[in-house]
Structure 1
Amino acid sequence: MKIKLLIIAALAPFVAAAQTPNFTITGKIGNLNAPAKVYLDYSSEGEGKSDSATLVNGTFKFTGNIKGIASSRMTLSREGIRDKEIYASGTGDVIYMNFGKENIHISSPDSLYNAKWTGSKVYEEMKAFEKEVGPTVMTVHHNANVLLKKATPEQQKDTAYFQILDKQVKALRVSRGQKMLLFAKNNPGSYFALQALSESVSGYGVKSDIALPLFNGLTEPLRLSYTGQGLYKILNATTITALGSKAPDFTQKDVNGKSVSLSDFKGKYVLVEFWASWCSPCRAESPNLSKQYAAYKDKGFEILGVSVDHDKAKWIEAIKKDGLTWPQVSDLKGWESDARKVYGISGVPANFLIAPDGKIIGSHLMGEVLNKKLAELMK
């Protein structure tokens, strides 16, 4: 008994150290009180977490542990309803930022979106990065939507006004895309060079033959990081998922927590369908998928839905609402989905059609293109 007690006592300092927060974010937004809340969603090295804090005289505080630099979204809702702000036509009080193992303070007289940050070197580097390459896509759309909201009734009816705004948004996006590759080349040791490459590939469709040399030019710690290895998989996925290649196997859990593998469906034609509950084009394709599944499920055809959701409740709700009766899996890592990285998906919806021998015979088949392909195979 004494030996066990000594062991427990010896381990106690390590347990305490593991539980000690390595970042703190405090804030002061005006003099807001309940029901006003601030929500923080963040991920670091593949681990995602969510937290919330009710404002007391405008103040709030978050603490936690991260393994490296965190990517995050912070939302201020005066009504205490996070989703309402996130989907508020692009004008909600929502910000996207990076932070590290730091003691950070945020302050603003009225808005989270306009808040000033102090105590975060990572945040300062992020703002310097944005100054060099241009504002994020979220910021561009937010600012455009704010202008639309402030527009006069005459402007809101004027097609030319909308066209001017649309042209400005597209120009800013194109400019950012061009400058990010240059930033990655000129700043091989910066975490944001890795971020720039990741966004170039997933958001701008930059091909592997352009991105891979830049990736190889990054410092070793960046290449070997969790984010770096994830990007490396995506850059090599073009070869791995080429037509005629054997489809990479993967295992994820279904809505009941049961492990399901792609290889479980060997011997059938399988459509691996990547989607998400928040993806409107994905949901719009659901009726056609349901029709095809009903027509061919008894003839050796299967669909395996792979969600890039992170909210299990919303994922299950979408499955029920859309009447999806085929197998559904997700690792609930959102855009950090392991299967997404292996298959090099840069956007959803996306899919791969796999033959009974396990080889890929089609990709990105939607609507009538998918229907025609299945009709040929299921004669």
Structure 2
Amino acid sequence: MKYLWTILACCPVLALAQSKPFTIEGKAQSYDAPAKAYLMYGEAGKNVDSVQIHKGSFSFKGTLENSEPLNAMLMIDKKGLSLRQAQRAGIQQFYVEPGKIKIESPDSLEHIKVTGTKTNLENQALQHLLESTNKEIAIVLQEYQEGTPEQQKDSVYSKPFIKRYNTLAEKQKKISLAFARQHPNSFVSLNAIIRSSGAFPDYASNYELMQGLSPEIRNSALGKTFSNQLEAIKATAIGAMAPELPNRM
């Protein structure tokens, strides 16, 4: 019993030792108090934090349960009123992971660069490849918005914009998947595959892409979740194709 109590007493210390700290140091020159920066990360953005920006500087600190990168979002509200206001102003996606993450912008949230850790550097590399098509998509959306509400409801008006958008989206998909094939040991590649798979992933093509990733990435929590989803799709497809056997007495 004495040894059991000793072990239990040590558990909080062990948990603390296993946690992985991270820091985020931000510089966004055009912001100052009362502006606030908001951070959301983890599954469904369950972790939320906020800090006031002082003369363009802000920082976040926290701990993670393990070394696996987590999807994160940074938002800034110039008036420092609320998270909802910050979300309306725009969202910058990046990754929270153990280590020191650097966020810098010469002006606005739109031009922020996130570096300092492996996954964020890899993500910046992918975003650089997507930069041209992102600009083209922004132009398409802006031109569409210039139409009147009545025009936007008209399929004749909308059709060419939808076609241009879909062409660019397909181009982005090819760029993202090429990146995934070239970077098998990157968590960014896993996210690229998942995002490119769409609402109804095709089992065969996505299974092949997943097999091209390193075991470490495939066996991450997110990798296992997506692999399980693919197996469920495969099982459903097999069940749908199975012929119905006649009843024999």
Distance 2:90 2:3 in 1: 56
Task: Note closer, same or farther for the CA distance 1:54–1:213 as it changes in structure 2 (3 Å cut).
Answer: same
Percent of aligned pairs with the same amino acid: 24
Task: Note closer, same or farther for the CA distance 1:182–1:233 as it changes in structure 2 (3 Å cut).
Answer: same
In structure 2, the partner of 1:51 is 49
1:37-186 superposed matches below 5 A: 37-43=36-42, 48-66=46-64, 67=66, 68-79=68-79, 80-86=81-87, 88=88, 92-132=89-129, 134-135=130-131, 143-144=138-139, 147=142, 156=147, 166-186=162-182
* Residue pair 2:33, 2:52 contacting (<8 A) in 1 also: yes
Task: Note closer, same or farther for the CA distance 1:9–1:141 as it changes in structure 2 (3 Å cut).
Answer: farther
Please state whether the residue corresponding to 1:106 is helix, strand or coil: strand
Deviations 1:180-228 (A, max 9, x none): 333333333332222222112235x441111112212322112211111
Deviations 1:6-51 (A, max 9, x none): 76885675354356x61100213234112x221111117x994121
The Cα shift of 1:163 comes to: 6.9
Distance 1:121 1:3 in 2: 42
Query: Relative contact order (C-alpha < 8 Å, sep 6+): which is higher?
Result: 2
Distance 1:237 1:3 in 2: 45
Please state whether the residue corresponding to 2:17 is helix, strand or coil: helix
TM-score, structure 1 normalization: 0.50
Distance 2:137 2:174 in 1: 21
* Residue pair 2:201, 2:230 contacting (<8 A) in 1 also: no
* Residue pair 2:137, 2:165 contacting (<8 A) in 1 also: no
Q: 1:202 aligns with which of 191, 195, 198?
A: 198
1:1-379 superposed matches below 5 A: 13-14=13-14, 16-18=16-18, 22-29=21-28, 30-34=30-34, 36-43=35-42, 48-66=46-64, 67=66, 68-79=68-79, 80-86=81-87, 88=88, 92-132=89-129, 134-135=130-131, 143-144=138-139, 147=142, 156=147, 166-202=162-198, 205-242=200-237
Task: Note closer, same or farther for the CA distance 1:3–1:179 as it changes in structure 2 (3 Å cut).
Answer: closer
> Structure 2: which 5+ runs fail to align?
241-249
Task: Note closer, same or farther for the CA distance 1:82–1:235 as it changes in structure 2 (3 Å cut).
Answer: same
Please state whether the residue corresponding to 1:218 is helix, strand or coil: coil
Distance 2:214 2:191 in 1: 13
RMSD: 3.9
Distance 1:214 1:184 in 2: 8
> How many residues are paired up?
230
> Partner amino acid for 2:21?
N
Distance 1:225 1:27 in 2: 28
Higher helix proportion (structure 1 or 2): 2
Task: Note closer, same or farther for the CA distance 1:190–1:121 as it changes in structure 2 (3 Å cut).
Answer: closer
Distance 1:74 1:40 in 2: 5
Task: Note closer, same or farther for the CA distance 1:142–1:175 as it changes in structure 2 (3 Å cut).
Answer: closer
* Residue pair 1:25, 1:61 contacting (<8 A) in 2 also: yes
In structure 1, the partner of 2:246 is none
Please state whether the residue corresponding to 1:128 is helix, strand or coil: helix
Deviations 1:41-91 (A, max 9, x none): 1117x99412111223332211112321121111111232222343x4xxx
